[in-house]
Structure 1
Amino acid sequence: MSGNFEARLADLGVTLGDATAPAANYVPFVQVGDTLYVSGQISMENGEMITGKIGAELSVEEGAAAARVCAINLLGQVKAACGGDLDRLERVVKLTGFVNSTPDFGDQPKVINGCSDFLVEALGDAGRHARSAVSAGALPFNVAVEIEGIFKIKP
């Protein structure tokens, strides 16, 4: 997709808020050359955490919605790293998604699709990426999903 990514987000009804500050002793992103590494973004929307274990308290669909929130938070960090210019983003390279799920739950990929599908919808081909989707016995603050990302950006 060429053009203004934020305009496309607005078409989808999404406005990127301010990037959230880290919850511990780490930085939200690190840039090395044209590669941007974004720390794990949790399922938190408007200051409210989406919590619970997928396969117990939450359904696959609710987990996918939480993963979509993580995608928006990832883009917020990319925008902050790019000095407010999201159009410096060239492509999403790799995502690693962690799903707070029960031991017998096996649909982690369907949950993380909430993030992947949103990024492709919002960014077109620039949103297509490699990915891992794994189960976690627990996540910080009992959030439903946490996703970290690697992005290629323009200088």
Structure 2
Amino acid sequence: MQIEERLAQLGLSIPQPKSHTSAYRRWYQAGSLLFLAGAPPVSEDGSFAFVGKVGRELSKEEGKASARLSFLNALFYLKDAISGDWGRVLGCAKMVVYVHCDPSFSEVHEIADAASLLALELFGDSGPVRTSLGCATLPANIATEIELVFHVT
């Protein structure tokens, strides 16, 4: 089954973020590893959907929604890198979830779980190893940023 069909079954879709002007690439392939740049929680209109610190301005549930949206935005990068050929994706090898949170917020792993569970829904047993980090700040005050590495043909 195609990833986009599975997303549709879940009531989700891959956002189409506007082009960026920052000085970085969205992806880089080295052999069979495809590295994706950190993806923020960008909404369809190009704005950041979740801004602020989880555990302060944002609830844990909003943090989870931000992580899911960041993951979906990363899939936009992936789709571009594989020219839409989902058959090239063998699995999601690694996920790093950065959570902009209040220093007292100790449930960073639960925010990251929202993205990990979505990866497992889409890629099955080839879901990622993961690191989750609580951060004092992220660019533009966004709530989450997700960096991924995929195994591709």
Q: Same fold (TM over 0.5)?
A: yes
How far the C-alpha of 1:89 sits from its partner, in A, is 1.1
% same residue: 32
Match of 2:116 in 1: 116
Which TM-score applies when normalising by structure 2? 0.92
Taking the aligned partners of 1:108 and 1:124, their CA distance within structure 2 comes to 23
Tell whether the 8 Å contact from 1:12 to 1:122 is kept in structure 2 after alignment: no
Decide whether aligned partners of structure 1 residues 105 and 67 sit closer, same or farther in structure 2, where only a CA change above 3 A counts. Answer: same
Task: Provide the residue aligned with 1:8 in structure 2.
Answer: 6
1:132 and 2:131 aligned: yes
Residues in 1 aligned to 2:6 and 2:14: alpha-carbon distance in whole angstroms: 12
> TM-score normalized by structure 1?
0.91
- The offset of 1:108, in angstroms, is 0.6
Give the unaligned 5+ runs of structure 1.
none
Q: Counterpart amino acid of 1:131?
A: R
Which residue matches 1:104? 104
Listed as ranges, the matches of 1:39-118 within 5 Å are: 39-46=37-44, 47-49=46-48, 50-118=50-118
Higher alpha-carbon deviation: 34-43 or 15-24: 15-24
Q: Is the 8 A contact 1:22 1:28 kept in 2?
A: no
- Tell me the amino acid that sits aligned with residue 37 of structure 2: S
Pairwise CA RMSD of aligned residues? 1.4
Partners in 2 of 1:23 and 1:142 — Cα distance?
18
Cα 1:19/1:89, change in 2 over 3 Å: farther
- Unaligned ranges ≥5, structure 2: none
